Amino acid sequence: MEECRVPSLSEFPMEDYCFENKVIQRMELLVLNTLEWKMGSITPFSYLNYFISKICGESRPKETISRAVELILAVIKEINLLEHRPSVIAVAAVLAASDNQLTRQELDVKVKLISSTNFLENEHIFSCYIVMQEIEMGKLKTPKQAFSPNSINSCFTTSSGTGSKRRLTYNDCDQNCPVKKICQ
């Protein structure tokens, strides 16, 4: 039997104690800060520098970076982002930006050079790559030059992404716990 709703924290009493939501939220943030985790969305842009260094080596041509960014922005309009992991979209964009005439076998070889483990899904990479080839050939309606290269390159001046914090919201029933509360 599956649960249809997420139970509130007050439904999990533990030996006469009920932690307030604020205390639990502070504990969670303390753990995240200690682990130096950022609370931000992971996008294909998070992976670009890594894949460009793996595929292009240390040269990192600006044209490849600019074109990969353009392809990511263009493919977002054409595919469902929930069907492909951000790393898959990023590697397909870098491959398409560096060489948009790869065969399936050549693409598989390049992907194997990037990662010996199979965390990258070749089938998804190839389908994204095909969409990006179609964008390049103008078969899809996405504009070819939507952004200037200068504005795109300014995105890559820093090596780390910026994370933003959002306030977590809880159900009202969590705020009023009937059992003894522990506060710090």
- The predicted-structure confidence for 124-183, as pLDDT tens digits, reads as follows 899 999 999 888 888 665 444 444 444 444 444 444 444 455 554 544 444 444 444 444
Q: Residue 181: beta bridge partners?
A: 18
Q: Where are the alpha helices (DSSP H) in the chain?
A: 21-34, 45-56, 62-76, 86-98, 104-114, 122-137, 149-153, 172-175
Q: Identify the pLDDT of residue 93.
A: 93
Residue 126, domain member (yes or no): yes
Residue 128: which region, alpha, beta or left (left: phi > 0; alpha: psi -120 to 50)? alpha
* Domains held by the chain: number: 1
Q: Does the pLDDT value for residue 112 go beyond 90?
A: no
Q: Rg of the chain's alpha carbons, rounded to an integer?
A: 22
Q: Identify the pLDDT of residue 147.
A: 45
Report yes or no on whether pTM surpasses 0.75: no
User: Higher model confidence: residue 39 or residue 107?
Assistant: 107
CB burial string 149-168: b at 16+ within 10 A, e below: eeebeeebeeeeeeeeeeee
Task: Give me the percent of the chain exceeding a pLDDT of 70.
Answer: 64
Show the domain range for 114: 44-137
* Class of residue 116 by CB neighbours under 10 A (exposed 0-12, middle 13-18, buried 19+): exposed
Residue 11, domain member (yes or no): no
In angstroms, the CA 52 to CA 156 distance is: 12
Residue 12, domain member (yes or no): no
- Residue 173 tokens, joined: 């029933």
Residue 104, domain member (yes or no): yes
Residue 96, domain member (yes or no): yes
Residue 130, domain member (yes or no): yes
Once rounded to an integer, what is the mean pLDDT over residues 106-123? 80
Q: Which residue bears the tokens 């990006």?
A: 132
Once rounded to an integer, what is the mean pLDDT over residues 61-69? 88
User: Higher model confidence: residue 91 or residue 17?
Assistant: 91
Residue 85, domain member (yes or no): yes
* Class of residue 93 by CB neighbours under 10 A (exposed 0-12, middle 13-18, buried 19+): buried
Residue 176, domain member (yes or no): no
CA distances from 29 to 33, 36, 184 (A): 6, 10, 15
